[in-house]
Amino acid sequence: MKMTMRWFGTDDPVPLSKIRQIPGVTGIVSAIYDVEVGDVWPFEKIAALRQIINQEGLELDVIESISVHEDIKLGLPTRDDYIDAYCESIRNVGKAGIPTLCYNFMPVFDWTRTNLQHTLADGSHALSFCYEELNDIDLDAEGAANLPGWSTVYTPERFKELIEQFRALGTDTLWNNLTYFLERVVPVAEEAGVKMAIHPDDPPWSILGLPRIVTGEAAYERITRVVDSPSNGITVCTGSLGASLSNDLPQIVSKFGKRNRINFVHMRNVAVTGNKQFHEAPHLSRLGTVDMYAVMKALVATGYDGPLRPDHGRMIWGEEGRPGYGLFDRSLGLMYLQGLMEAAKSQRNSQW
């Protein structure tokens, strides 16, 4: 496996010079943040980003993410133009030598939390979600679109309009629109040498009446059958999937790993504390709901050798910055994951 860390570009408070000091880290997961959703990502900007990362002795292994325009998800007449632009971005990613592209198909926003400063028993802070708190939100209130984790690119009026459109769209039509998208873009990705990796919905259930479809094993099965290609793969996110106790993570890894459809892995832990309620937890298995060692053993057993990142972490030791993306706890998590990997490989070898 290739150990990577998320980096948000030159404005990230965590510099590459510090990331490269984490033992075992060789790759970076990043994106271009000054291109409008729906526009083509210029090759020059992708290449320049890669050069900045290479100069620090690291590789740009994953683009996360090129956002899918809402018109594509809604299936509007304008979607073909936006899909054409998306295909051109994929070509440019491949031309720049970036092997993996993570993306999602969640309506309106790409993850949702109701609290970015949930205080744990040890005094650290983590992201959390409570379904009941979310349902208390008044969507007519000014600034409702600026909830934790929600996209801030929309005005409150546009946000409310999109909510209504997606509620009317329904699950079946959203599936049809994802199928249409995949049939167009996967052949382009295959030709460009890019492996696409769809991220599961976070959290993996419907919220505010919106359709959510990428929620577990059955969804992954359906997606990977649309276009049978290694370029049509998945992101296994243990935190997103682990928020639902119905997801058997080692089984998912084993099934899709054997089929060579896991193209990217996010590993983090969550503590499920109630019905559709959880907070993000330290990576250690015993401190959350996810059996991280079982997941790692499944990855090792299937021979997964792609990029993996520790994903979110707590804010600890007084660190400030982007919630979930402090350097300290993610570094601890990454070292723990490497320990799990060594143990899993040792156990596998002793059984041969």
User: What amino acid positions are annotated as catalytic residues?
Assistant: 199, 237, 266, 311-312, 325
**What whole-number distance in Å separates Cα of residue 84 and Cα of residue 154?**
23
Question: CA of 287: how far to CAs of 164, 280, 340, in Å?
Answer: 39, 10, 15
**What whole-number distance in Å separates Cα of residue 214 and Cα of residue 62?**
20
Tracing tokens 């000054």 back to the chain, one arrives at 34
Q: Helix (H, G, I), strand (E, B), or coil: what is residue 65?
A: coil
Q: Quick one: which H or E segment has residue 27?
A: strand 25-30
- Give one word for 180, left, alpha or beta, with left for phi > 0 and alpha for psi -120 to 50: alpha
Pick from 113, 108, 201, 206: which is nearest to 154 by CA?
A: 108
**What whole-number distance in Å separates Cα of residue 89 and Cα of residue 85?**
6
Cβ partners under 8 Å of residue 101, min gap 6:
62, 63, 64, 65, 66, 90, 93, 189, 194, 195, 196, 197
| DSSP output for 201-251 | PSSSS--TT------SHHHHHHHHHHS-STTEEEEEEHHHHHTSTT--HHH
- Give one word for 123, left, alpha or beta, with left for phi > 0 and alpha for psi -120 to 50: left
**What whole-number distance in Å separates Cα of residue 281 and Cα of residue 286?**
10
